[in-house]
Amino acid sequence: MTRLSVNINKIALLRNSRGANIPDVVQFAKDCERYGAQGITVHPRQDERHITRKDVYALKDVVSTEFNIEGYPSPDFLKMVNEVKPTQCTLVPDAPGQLTSDHGWDTIKQQSFLKEVIAELHQNKIRVSLFIDPANNLIEAAKKTGADRIEFYTGPYAEHFNTDKKNAVKDFAAAAKFCSEINIGINAGHDLNLDNLRYFKQNIPQLLEVSIGHALVRDCLYLGLENVIQLYLRELE
């Protein structure tokens, strides 16, 4: 079964908008796990507009499933990750101040840099995933960096799903087949939701994990957290 990791950035964003601890990010993470989520994802950014460094350290001792920290591997980010030692670190090529992740790594041009970063994380027994577009040459280069997994940037799939879902998933299915051939694990994330998740999973049967935050939190507003977790898990059966 594909694992569901809940990205709690938007809960932190809501909390930060009032300057207090409501909603409580740590309690929200605990509740996600209690209702069945199999992982917690955070993506701390330099401006700390949602998840803060303090949150990451607080979650370290609370998350009992898989803890996944996403971000650009700057020196301060790597210091934090190596101290927290999450289950997984997902490296994302975000520029400072970027609103959201919207492209994958150029694993060919940045192969040497990524090799060094991944080797450092592996010393602390941290699984490493690279945020990537569905292109075989980039995936092959990702494998050469030593990455354990890739995470498909699924924004284009979500964008075209309602108009032509077969064509929208085609490149991802082909790239997933190549991942299996070279033995690298597959995660996915960005704009996956209750409308498009099941179809993606059906076409990527070897999918190990999805990270979902924005859409899941949106659905919580209407459906309630416990119900939403169960609905997402059902889509991944």
Give the separation between CA 50 and CA 65, rounded to whole angstroms.
22
CB 37 within 8 A of CB 229: yes
Catalytic residue list contains 122:
no
Catalytic residue among 43, 50, 66, 151: 43
Nearest to 165 by CA among 206, 188, 198: 198
Give the separation between CA 15 and CA 51, rounded to whole angstroms.
10
Distances (CA, A) of 45 to 112, 129, 162, 177: 24, 18, 31, 33
Residue 86, preceding bond cis, omega within 30 degrees? Answer: no
Catalytic residue list contains 190:
yes
CB 63 within 8 A of CB 31: no
Catalytic residue among 50, 66, 190, 235: 190
Catalytic residue list contains 103:
no
Catalytic residue among 33, 50, 66, 70: 70
Catalytic residues, by residue number, are 43, 70, 190
